[in-house]
Amino acid sequence: MDRLDSFCRVAQAGGVTRAAKGNPARQSLYSRQIKDLEQFFGTELIRRKGRGVALTEAGERLYLVARECFASLSDFRNECKGRPVEVVLGAGDSLIQWLLMPRLAELRGRIPNVRLKFLNLSTSDAVRRLADGEIDFALVRKDAVASPLQARLLGVMHYSLFIPAALEASAGRKNGLKLLGDLPLVTLEGEGSFRGELAAIAKKQGIQVNIEVECSSFPVAARAVAKGSVAAILPSIAANDLRAAGVHEVTVPFLKNFEREMCLAWNERMSRIRPVLRHVGSVLAQVCRF
């Protein structure tokens, strides 16, 4: 078990030195233990790659088996000692802030023996980690989920235009795309699907979107809107937070192009290994519907 644990640490860190965190004695121990495993199984498990290591095909298989074994044993140990079992859920910052956090008390009440851990992850990263067994659940777009992952629909993510009170006068009676051409906007940085869709619509309609601020996430953009100097296209689930700040939500027909079906996704293989995940998944699917 010690050798398998050391192997998992090295595999996760991507190198013996990084896993040992600069401790020469531990580095020597890890190297020796991995050689013991290779001798026991009769196959090469890791190979040098640059300054780190890469897993061989056999190493990848062993890493998966060992990681799942340790996860199951950790659950068993915590349950025997009356400790909460850790369940990790990956989702974008918007869903964590505006969907999960408002329902946290209900979640905790229905799964009291579980310690929830929320990770802010992009859709692609969440799906990859879920497939690899690194996280237990993910809240992602339905179209991003593929076999062998399973999914249950939670609802449709709608988008609205949010205008602070200080800018409503300048917006006047304009609506739709006209508003986008005149209002100073805060939006997501980079070239993701949201920015691409926004640029495509603006080009098709022949308008110049007035983007004055870029942010790393929708919740950060919402904070900028709440300050009163910029408007933004945001998930409609942000309305409860922004309404208290005097921000007006405007429903714009063309924003239907941004709608996404959102789902709870999980890895059925991990659910078989860790029975507690079946109960947690059922609760998440019920509580997180919108």
- Please identify, among 76, 103, 129, the residue that sits at the C-terminal boundary of a domain: 76
Angle, CA 78 vertex, CA 77 and CA 83 arms, to 5°: 155
Whether 189 and 178 share a structural domain: yes
Regarding whether 232 and 147 lie in a shared domain, the answer is no
**CATH code of 234's domain:** 3.40.190.10
Same domain, 167 and 250: yes
What pLDDT does 207 receive? 79
Q: Tell me, what's the pLDDT at 171? A: 62
Residues 100 and 180 in one domain: no
Residue that is last in its domain, among 52, 76, 100: 76
CATH number at residue 14: 1.10.10.10
Q: What confidence score (pLDDT) does residue 277 get?
A: 95
Say if residue 195 is in the same domain as residue 236.
Answer: yes
Q: Which residues contact 241 (CB under 8 A, 6 or more apart)?
A: 98, 222, 226
State which residues form the domain around 44. 2-76
Say whether both 163 and 245 belong to one domain.
Answer: yes
- Do 25 and 167 belong together in one domain? no
Domain count across the chain = 3
Does residue 252 sit in the same domain as residue 172?
A: yes
Last residue of a domain, one of 20, 42, 76: 76
- Rounded to whole angstroms, the Cα distance separating 194 from 197 reads 5
Residues 119 and 180 in one domain: no
Residues 212 and 279 both lie in one domain: no
pLDDT tens digits, the chain, 290 residues: what are they? 999 999 999 998 888 988 998 899 999 999 999 999 999 999 999 998 887 889 999 999 999 889 888 888 888 888 888 899 999 999 999 999 999 999 999 999 999 999 999 999 999 999 999 998 889 999 999 999 998 899 999 999 999 999 998 887 666 555 556 677 778 999 998 877 788 888 887 788 787 888 999 999 999 999 999 999 999 999 999 999 999 899 999 888 888 888 999 999 999 988 888 989 999 999 999 999 99
Q: What is the pLDDT of residue 175?
A: 59
Q: What are phi and psi of 25, to 5 degrees?
A: -65, -45
At residue 210, the pLDDT reads 86
Check whether residue 34 and residue 177 sit in a common domain.
Answer: no
Q: 102 with 37, same domain?
A: no
